[in-house]
């Protein structure tokens, strides 16, 4: 699925328990971190028409970041840097797998490619996960899901006073939250 859907899904999970902003940020970033292996697209596009094109996107997207080894690294990192260590690490591990699950069910490319996930990479590299019923990246379930997640994000902003914007700037988040509260009134706490 699109990074924005992964971001909103992990944000929603992070918003459920009582966590501090830093732990919410860790969980949210854990939920999109797998797609770091998609950054190779920059190199691939840049070298596309050269003598030695580097196929970093085609070769490594859904490989380097989409596996159990990466998930364990995320878990241990969260455990080391979070405030509520265990809860944050468990939720980070969970949203990481939610990301893989969402990719499995709805990321078919326009060319029909399914982007199978080598879950045990870099070990047992011949075991790949894929699902024959996978729908396309731009299919309606993804659009509906993204819409629902946006609504939940708005609700959390209004009710609890935080939004993904706080990861970038507390001030911008404040403005965002205040806009909702001016429009819909203050939530009863
Ligand atoms: Zn992904």
**Tens of pLDDT, residues 79-104:** 999 999 999 999 999 999 999 999 99
Q: What is the whole-number distance in angstroms between the Cα of residue 62 and the centre of ligand 1?
A: 6
Cα 34 to ligand 1 centroid, rounded to whole Å? 6
- CA of 187 from ligand 1 middle (Å) equals 35
The neighbour count for residue 57, using CB atoms within 10 Å, is: 17
pTM greater than 0.85 = yes
| CA 35 / ligand 1 centre spacing (Å) | 5
Distance 32 CA to ligand 1 centre (A): 7
Find the 37 Cα to ligand 1 centroid distance in Å: 8
115 C-alpha vs ligand 1 centroid, how far in Å?
A: 9
pLDDT number for residue 9: 98
CA of 185 to the centre of ligand 1 (A): 37
pLDDT value of position 115? 87
Residue 152's contacts (CB-CB under 8 Å, 6 or more residues apart) are 8, 12, 15
Residue 17 has what pLDDT? Answer: 86
Who's near 186: CB < 8 A, 6+ residues apart? none
Answer whether 153's CB lies under 8 Å from 140's CB.
Answer: no
Lowest mean pLDDT among 108-112, 138-142, 176-180: 108-112
Average pLDDT over residues 29-44: 95
Q: Residue 38 — very low, low, confident or very high, per pLDDT cuts 50/70/90?
A: very high
Assign 3-state DSSP to the chain and report helix, strand, coil percentages, each to 5.
Answer: 65, 0, 35
How far is ligand 1, taken at its centre, from the CA of residue 22, in Å?
23
CA dihedral 8, 10, 15, 17 (to 10 degrees): 160
102 CA from centroid of ligand 1 (Å): 8
Residue 10 Cα to ligand 1 middle (Å): 13
Whole-number Å distance between alpha carbons of 101 and 35: 13
- Mean pLDDT, rounded, for 46-50: 95
Taking the C-alpha atoms of residue 109 and residue 31, their distance in angstroms, rounded to an integer, is: 21
Residue 189 has pLDDT above 80, yes or no: no
What pLDDT is recorded for position 63?
92
Task: Compute the mean pLDDT over every residue in the chain, rounded to the nearest whole number.
Answer: 95
Q: Phi and psi dihedrals of 46, rounded to 5?
A: -70, -30
Q: How many angstroms does the Cα of residue 103 sit away from the middle of ligand 1?
A: 6
Burial call 144-177: b when 16+ CB within 10 Å, e when fewer: ebbeebeeebeebbbbebbbbbbbeeeeebeebb
- Categorize the per-residue pLDDT at 75 as very low, low, confident or very high, splitting at 50, 70 and 90: very high
Q: What per-residue confidence (pLDDT) applies to 44?
A: 95
């Amino acid at each position: 699925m699109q990074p924005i859907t992964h971001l909103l899904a992990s944000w929603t999970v992070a918003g459920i328990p009582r966590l501090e902003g830093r732990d919410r940020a860790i969980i949210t970033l854990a939920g999109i971190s797998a797609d770091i292996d998609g950054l190779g697209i920059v190199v691939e596009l840049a070298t596309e028409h050269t003598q030695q094109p580097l196929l970093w996107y085609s070769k490594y997207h859904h490989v380097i970041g989409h596996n159990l080894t990466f998930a364990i690294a995320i878990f241990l990192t969260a455990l080391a840097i979070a405030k509520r260590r265990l809860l944050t690490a468990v939720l980070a591990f969970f949203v990481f797998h939610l990301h893989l699950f969402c990719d499995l069910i709805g990321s078919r490319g326009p060319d029909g490619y399914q982007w199978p996930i080598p879950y045990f990479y870099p070990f047992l590299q011949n075991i790949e996960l894929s699902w024959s019923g996978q729908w396309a990246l731009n299919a309606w379930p993804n659009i509906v899901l993204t819409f629902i997640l946006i609504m939940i994000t708005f609700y959390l902003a209004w009710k609890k006073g935080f939004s993904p914007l706080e990861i970038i700037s507390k001030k911008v988040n404040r403005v965002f939250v205040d806009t909702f509260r001016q429009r819909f009134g203050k939530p009863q706490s």
